[in-house]
């Protein structure tokens, strides 16, 4: 058991405080360390929960074990992988917490099987029965999401097949994410039953679609797709819930915290720290991360300020009570 003391806690507004860590979890919170207790000095620093990236591709970014280690070393405690080949499931690379969907469900020849996902990252489905069977299989392998692909540049899932996959996912308690960047694709995704847009769409959405996004989720990925922050601002204003995601594995991405993505979230008027901690934890269904509350995992960053650049370059990182090295 030890304390981290002398600094501030982002709670969420930084205030003086100390944390007691025991067995990898936050065991107590106080104004200062208990007298005589062993303590890590956090003077001049702010403690924030380690971040959660709700859109990554560990196996596209490199060797998933190495990428996972790099993620935790750089301050990411949990991720949602939205496109790993079925043969790689379940994805387990502790101490990184990994939720996953497995491959994108798509039509024969559909996105992404004729582009970056030719090696199992897309799973081709023709019938509703195939779709239900695939979702059951992925669920048995530990998936807590399924991902449907909608890209009009390629053959598309028949609406009946897409809805069958979504229904089966919901029946099993899985959330349905969708790759949908244009207006028509977003409409198809919502018609099929999607709960989550895996990207902020490029198109400005019409009022009826914005209204349908109220209470549903959108994962930011603004920087990876060079989508204007105004698109996310409109979804946020319409009541969509927002989680931080980088699309790690895409071009110009690297493991760790993406200061540019946090900055884009700020430009969209979104509380970027919440989007990357408590909100993302709610989306992933992981109550033990993204929080400095007693009982949460002791996965945290010590930073000089809450500005995106400082968050992306923590002074030190602790994951499950251990200094990440
Ligand atoms: Zn992606």
Tokens linked to 317:
């990182």
pLDDT band at residue 280 using 50, 70 and 90 as cut-offs: very high
Residue 318 has pLDDT above 90, yes or no: yes
Classify strands 18-22 and 2-5 as parallel, antiparallel or unpaired.
antiparallel
Identify any residues that bridge with 241 across adjacent strands, giving them in sequence order: 217
Predicted local confidence at residue 11, as pLDDT: 79
Report the separation in Å between the CA atom of 57 and the middle of ligand 1, taken as the mean of its atom positions. Answer: 6
Report the separation in Å between the CA atom of 270 and the middle of ligand 1, taken as the mean of its atom positions. Answer: 21
Report the separation in Å between the CA atom of 8 and the middle of ligand 1, taken as the mean of its atom positions. Answer: 35
Report the separation in Å between the CA atom of 21 and the middle of ligand 1, taken as the mean of its atom positions. Answer: 35
Number of alpha carbons in the 13 Å side-chain half-sphere of residue 260 = 14
pLDDT band at residue 289 using 50, 70 and 90 as cut-offs: very high
Q: 255 exposed, middle or buried (CB, 10 Å; 0-12, 13-18, 19+)?
A: buried
Report the separation in Å between the CA atom of 106 and the middle of ligand 1, taken as the mean of its atom positions. Answer: 14
Residue 252 has pLDDT above 90, yes or no: no
Report the separation in Å between the CA atom of 216 and the middle of ligand 1, taken as the mean of its atom positions. Answer: 18
CA 212 and chain centroid, separation: 22
Helices (H) and strands (E) in the chain, counts: 11, 20
Tell me, what DSSP letter sits at residue 87?
G
Predicted local confidence at residue 5, as pLDDT: 97
Identify any residues that bridge with 300 across adjacent strands, giving them in sequence order: 49, 318
Report the separation in Å between the CA atom of 224 and the middle of ligand 1, taken as the mean of its atom positions. Answer: 9
Report the separation in Å between the CA atom of 225 and the middle of ligand 1, taken as the mean of its atom positions. Answer: 10
Report the separation in Å between the CA atom of 284 and the middle of ligand 1, taken as the mean of its atom positions. Answer: 16
**H or E element: which one contains 192?**
helix 183-192
**DSSP per position, 159-181:** HHHHHHHHHHHHHTT-EEEEEE-
CB 303 within 8 A of CB 48: yes
Predicted local confidence at residue 273, as pLDDT: 97
Report the separation in Å between the CA atom of 150 and the middle of ligand 1, taken as the mean of its atom positions. Answer: 13
Count other Cβ atoms within 10 Å, centred on residue 294: 12
Residue 12 has pLDDT above 90, yes or no: no
Report the separation in Å between the CA atom of 6 and the middle of ligand 1, taken as the mean of its atom positions. Answer: 40
Predicted local confidence at residue 107, as pLDDT: 98
Report the separation in Å between the CA atom of 90 and the middle of ligand 1, taken as the mean of its atom positions. Answer: 18
Q: 142 exposed, middle or buried (CB, 10 Å; 0-12, 13-18, 19+)?
A: middle
Predicted local confidence at residue 325, as pLDDT: 74
CB 91 within 8 A of CB 58: yes
CA dist 316 and 305 (Å) reads: 13
Report the separation in Å between the CA atom of 247 and the middle of ligand 1, taken as the mean of its atom positions. Answer: 5
Report the separation in Å between the CA atom of 11 and the middle of ligand 1, taken as the mean of its atom positions. Answer: 31
CA dist 306 and 293 (Å) reads: 18
- pLDDT above 70: percentage of residues in the chain: 100
Report the separation in Å between the CA atom of 4 and the middle of ligand 1, taken as the mean of its atom positions. Answer: 36
In the block, residue with structure tokens 């996965």: 299
- Per-residue model confidence as pLDDT tens digits over 96-119: 999 999 999 999 999 999 999 999
In the block, residue with structure tokens 């923590």: 314
Report the separation in Å between the CA atom of 233 and the middle of ligand 1, taken as the mean of its atom positions. Answer: 21
CA dist 308 and 306 (Å) reads: 6
Q: 308 exposed, middle or buried (CB, 10 Å; 0-12, 13-18, 19+)?
A: buried
Predicted local confidence at residue 158, as pLDDT: 97
Report the separation in Å between the CA atom of 56 and the middle of ligand 1, taken as the mean of its atom positions. Answer: 6
Would you call 148 helix, strand, or coil by DSSP? strand
Report the separation in Å between the CA atom of 178 and the middle of ligand 1, taken as the mean of its atom positions. Answer: 10
- Per-residue model confidence as pLDDT tens digits over 27-46: 999 999 989 999 999 999 99
pLDDT band at residue 179 using 50, 70 and 90 as cut-offs: very high
CA dist 168 and 318 (Å) reads: 38
The strands making up 97-100's β-sheet, listed across from edge to edge, are 51-56, 76-81, 97-100
Predicted local confidence at residue 272, as pLDDT: 98
Q: What domains sit in the chain, N to C, each tagged with a CATH number?
A: 2-48+291-323 (2.30.40.10), 51-284 (3.20.20.140)
CA dist 287 and 68 (Å) reads: 20
pLDDT band at residue 232 using 50, 70 and 90 as cut-offs: very high
- Per-residue model confidence as pLDDT tens digits over 54-99: 999 999 999 999 999 999 999 999 999 999 999 999 999 999 999 9
Report the separation in Å between the CA atom of 245 and the middle of ligand 1, taken as the mean of its atom positions. Answer: 9
Average pLDDT over residues 238-267: 96
Report the separation in Å between the CA atom of 322 and the middle of ligand 1, taken as the mean of its atom positions. Answer: 30
The mean predicted confidence, pLDDT, of the chain is 97
């Amino acid at each position: 058991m030890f304390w981290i003391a002398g600094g501030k806690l982002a709670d969420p507004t930084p205030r003086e405080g100390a944390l007691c860590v025991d067995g990898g979890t936050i065991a107590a919170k106080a104004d200062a360390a208990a007298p005589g207790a062993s303590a890590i000095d956090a003077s001049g620093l702010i403690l924030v929960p380690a971040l959660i990236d709700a859109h990554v591709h560990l196996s596209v970014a490199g060797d998933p074990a190495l990428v996972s280690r790099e993620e935790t070393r750089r301050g990411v405690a949990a991720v949602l992988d939205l496109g790993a080949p079925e043969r790689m499931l379940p994805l387990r690379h502790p101490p990184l917490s990994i939720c996953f969907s497995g491959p994108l469900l798509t039509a024969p020849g559909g996105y992404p099987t004729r582009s970056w996902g030719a090696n199992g990252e897309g799973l081709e489905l023709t019938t509703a029965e195939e779709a239900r069977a695939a979702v059951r299989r992925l669920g048995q392998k530990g998936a807590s999401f399924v991902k449907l692909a909608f890209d009009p540049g390629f053959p598309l899932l028949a609406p009946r097949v897409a809805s069958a996959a979504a229904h089966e996912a919901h029946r099993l308690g899985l959330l349905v994410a969708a790759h949908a960047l244009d207006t028509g694709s977003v409409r198809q995704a919502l018609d099929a039953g999607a709960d989550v847009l895996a990207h902020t769409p490029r198109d400005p959405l019409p009022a009826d679609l914005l209204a349908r996004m109220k209470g549903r989720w959108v994962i930011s990925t603004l920087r990876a797709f060079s989508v204007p922050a105004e698109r996310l601002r409109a979804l946020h204003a319409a009541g969509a819930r927002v989680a931080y995601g980088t699309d790690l594995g895409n071009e110009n991405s690297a493991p760790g915290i993406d200061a540019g993505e946090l900055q884009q979230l700020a430009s969209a008027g979104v509380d970027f720290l919440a989007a990357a901690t408590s909100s993302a934890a709610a989306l992933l269904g992981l109550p033990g991360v993204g929080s400095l509350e007693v009982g949460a995992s002791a996965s945290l960053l010590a930073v000089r300020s809450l500005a995106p650049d400082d968050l992306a370059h923590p002074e030190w990182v602790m994951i499950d009570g251990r200094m990440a090295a």
